[in-house]
Amino acid sequence: MKTRFKPTVALWLLATASLCSTSGLMFQGKGADGQAGDQQVVLRSLGVPFPVSPADNPITSKKISLGRELFFDKRLSRDNSISCATCHEPKHGFSDPHPVSIGVNARTGDRNSMSLLNVAFFEPLMWDGRAKSLEEQALLPFAAHFEFDLPVVQAVAKLRRHGYSEKFKEAFGEDISEENLAKALAAYQRSLLAGDSPFDRYILLNDSQAISPAAQRGFEVFLKARCDACHLIMTPGLHPFALRYILFTDNKFHNIGVGMDKEDPDPGRFAVTGDPNDWGAFRTPSLRNIALTAPYFHDGSARTLFDVVEFYDRGGIVNRNLDPAMRPLKLSQQQKRDLVAFLESLTSSRASELAHEEAKVRQTATATSSTANERSRSR
């Protein structure tokens, strides 16, 4: 389809003719860990790059399946009350619908849980960047008293008692350990690709009907307001994936003023680095699937996308370390509505499928049970 786009948009349409809309998982050959019957996985989703795994933890089908089961297993917590999915709910874009996360014994944390969709492309991780990798991040909830509150060595022993040893031997060739517990969870999370949004089809496949006129106007507002300074659209000179992939984040940390009107503001990245320039700075979240992940900001203080736009339109909250890019935007009400329409166009076509990830755990359990029964009858 031949479509004429406005000049400000045309730049992103170059060199995209060879892209296709294939999304999902493909399985190729024996797993890199050498486990019989396992298959290494190739992940694809329009608009996001191929995820790269650590050399010692290639993604395989059995690791994904094992990691998925662990992700939804509440026995990872001290009192069997919460799982990873409690704070990263699939139907909410693998984020938390509560302003701040709620852990064991109803203890509350200090921050909203970030979405795990497309997390394979973000390092360092968490709002303050304290985790250098998914493998490192996967073990942090065990030590947090307001999350799992279960030392990981006890979690490993607990999982052994509940029959996980054989599953780990199938995926890793050895019994469960702290290291491969982290690897299984990380492998599953790397599989959560969610590109192929209406906007991807609009901007990468030149489909002018993919998003509404309001969303198209909202994209113009997004560019004019310089939102892409932090929520990058991978233009030439800014990223090696120029023009082909869009992550909508610079993977950096900024103080935009959220929570700076509180008596004791969250220090953000400063608590990790000790650098005064990092005080009040938090990681730029991706805008992909943003319509699914309310509430917003590190403290969950914005209930809706319109609230987020209003916050930016005011220029944030002035403080001693406010990012110089924060300034009043003076948008009209129509421009604000259009900007929200653009943000809503960033929801993946895989969102509804990914919302039912827990059902796959039940399906796998049923299939395993059926296979075991068949073997028993054949003896």
pLDDT digits (tens, 9 = 90+) for 92-112: 999 999 999 999 999 999 999
Provide mean pLDDT across the span 319-339. Answer: 98
Residues 6+ away with beta carbon under 8 Å from 209? none
Query: Which CATH class, in words, describes the domain spanning 198-344?
Result: mainly alpha
As given in the structure block, the two tokens for residue 313 are 């339109």
The reply to whether omega before 124 is within 30° of 0 (cis) is: yes
Q: What is the pTM of this model?
A: 0.88
CA angle at 215 for the pair 212 and 221, rounded to the nearest 5°:
150
List the one residue out of 79, 70, 71, 67 whose CA is nearest residue 149.
79
| The dihedral sign for the CA sequence 290, 292, 294, 297 | negative
Residue spans of the domains in the chain: they are 24-194+351-378, 198-344
Query: Do the first three CATH levels of 24-194+351-378 and 198-344 match, i.e. the same topology?
Result: yes
* Greatest pairwise CA separation for the chain in angstroms: 76
Average pLDDT, the chain: 88
**DSSP per-residue letters across 148-206:** T---HHHHHHHHHHTT-HHHHHHHHSS---HHHHHHHHHHHHHT------HHHHHHHS-
Length of the chain: 379
β-sheet bridge partners, residue 89: 95
Answer yes or no: is pLDDT of 69 > 90: yes
List the one residue out of 45, 51, 118 whose CA is nearest residue 293.
118
Q: What would the pLDDT profile of 352-365 be if each residue is shown by its tens digit?
A: 999 999 999 988 77
User: What's the pLDDT at 77?
Assistant: 97
Q: What would the pLDDT profile of 17-66 be if each residue is shown by its tens digit?
A: 334 444 565 545 444 454 545 677 778 899 998 888 999 999 999 999 99
As given in the structure block, the two tokens for residue 165 are 């040893």
List the one residue out of 331, 195, 223, 241 whose CA is nearest residue 5.
223
Domain 24-194+351-378 has CATH 3.30.720.110: no
